[in-house]
Amino acid sequence: MWDRLLVDCNLATMDPAVEAAFGAIENGAIGIQDGRIVRVGRRTELAGYQAKKVEPLGGAWVTPGLVDCHTHLVFGGNRAGEFERRLEGASYAEIASAGGGIAATVRATREAPLEALVEASRPRLKALMQGGVTTVEIKSGYGLDIDAEAKMLRAAGLLGESEKVRIERTLLALHALPPEYRDRREDYVRLAVDSILPAVAQQGLASSVDAFCEGIGFTPEEVRAFFAAASELGLKVKLHAEQLSNLQGAALAAEFGALSADHLEHVDEAGVRAMAAAGMVAVLLPGAFYALKETKCPPVELLRRHGVPMAVATDCNPGTSPVLSPTLMMSMACTLFGLTPEEALAGMTRVAAKALGLADEIGTIAVGKAADLCIWRIGRPAELCYWIGLPGPERRIFAGEDA
């Protein structure tokens, strides 16, 4: 006797083993037991089974819960004032030299007590959840010292404990040079590698590390030192690479067996080849592309040709991607980058799960996976990408429970 049996629904399983677009099973059914999917198939194939609760869904579509594999959603304050000034003509550089930009968020994040940081971040997490997200990756990177980076990661952990969502935490110690290290960058990199990283690893506050490899961020050699130390400590690595220029970050990440390289507007074929050989995911972030009014798209055709799977994420952050809607990112991935709706939905489910190293656990509707599901009142899966500003699923199921 199962806990739940969902019937009278269509399934976009996103399972490659199901040979149809979107892994679709029309007139399907899902059996759920102890928070896991125990059976998936056509209604007729599940006819003999019983459950405590049999739930007809009136012809709705069921997808895997959405996975947002790249966010910076824990931070203090916000930068709406800077947004207004930029619209009035102020440049990003002017704002930064007046103490704004990332430095402003670092100040606000350091000042906020842990509880205040949790509560400031909760509405953003709730918005993503209402949009259909059941797993979120959250990065640090606005603390930039041991205590404040640990505080950010603790805040992310507390959010995960108090909301029906899975949280994966990433230490992004090499995000920006903190103001007090302006003329001492080597000292800051040493602090990140020798102090912040081991402290975070020892307290189990993150499962992976990330860095911003860019002219305005950190050099490949600085990133290499950080990745080498992180790998020694058993942490997975991923990288903000080739967003504004090509520093061969994707290839560097590949050397460390990275989970993903993210942004990638400026990646070249050598970088894509290295990613393919290392089995990495390309995480595409159309919110930042849009907000920065970028014109160079990530090389989607090249990624396809080399078989590099593409994830799509919000990059939710206060500066370059103040995005609160996962389905809007799927829409933009199609319209701005040329993904198919099936690629975009895979990018926020199966491929995003792979980008987090959780492909065995979440990301498709398949036997053995966590029962993280979204129920959408739509006529076909492409509607998830077609509507601009879709409010979210009618219902969300997290670990087998309504959420």
Binding region for Fe ion (CB under 5 A) = 315
Kindly determine how many residues on this chain lie close enough to bind ligand DI6 according to the rule CB under 6 A: 11
Toward ligand DI6, which CB reaches closer, 55 or 294? 294
φ/ψ of 138, rounded to 5, equals -130, 130
Per-residue x/- mask for ligand DI6, residues 27 to 56, rule CB under 6 A?
A: ------------------------------
Query: If binding is defined by CB under 6 A, does position 240 make contact with ligand DI6?
Result: yes
Cβ–Cβ under 8 Å, residues 1 and 48: no
Name the amino acid, one letter, at 142: Y
Which tokens go with 52? Answer: 């405590």
- Shortest distance in whole angstroms from residue 229 CB to Fe ion: 21
- Shortest distance in whole angstroms from residue 27 CB to ligand DI6: 44
CA distances from 158 to 81, 145, 196, 357, 370 (A): 29, 20, 20, 22, 21
Query: If binding is defined by CB under 6 A, does position 287 make contact with ligand DI6?
Result: no
Strands 133-139 and 166-174, by their bridges, are parallel
Give SS3 for 133: strand
Toward Fe ion, which CB reaches closer, 51 or 264? 264
Instruction: Give CA 234 to chain center in angstroms.
Output: 21
Query: If binding is defined by CB under 6 A, does position 159 make contact with ligand DI6?
Result: no
Query: If binding is defined by CB under 6 A, does position 105 make contact with ligand DI6?
Result: yes
Cβ–Cβ under 8 Å, residues 375 and 394: yes
Q: Which of residues 199-228 bind ligand DI6 (CB under 6 A)?
A: 212
Q: 285: closest CA among 212, 370, 197?
A: 212
Query: If binding is defined by CB under 6 A, does position 322 make contact with ligand DI6?
Result: no
Q: Pick the binder of ligand DI6 from 71, 135, 320, 331 (CB under 6 A).
A: 320
> What is the rounded distance in angstroms from the CA atom of residue 29 to the CA atom of residue 45?
9
Query: If binding is defined by CB under 6 A, does position 170 make contact with ligand DI6?
Result: no
Query: If binding is defined by CB under 6 A, does position 237 make contact with ligand DI6?
Result: no
Query: If binding is defined by CB under 6 A, does position 319 make contact with ligand DI6?
Result: yes
Q: What does the binding site for ligand DI6 look like in residue numbers (CB under 6 A)? A: 101-102, 105, 175, 212, 240, 288, 317-320
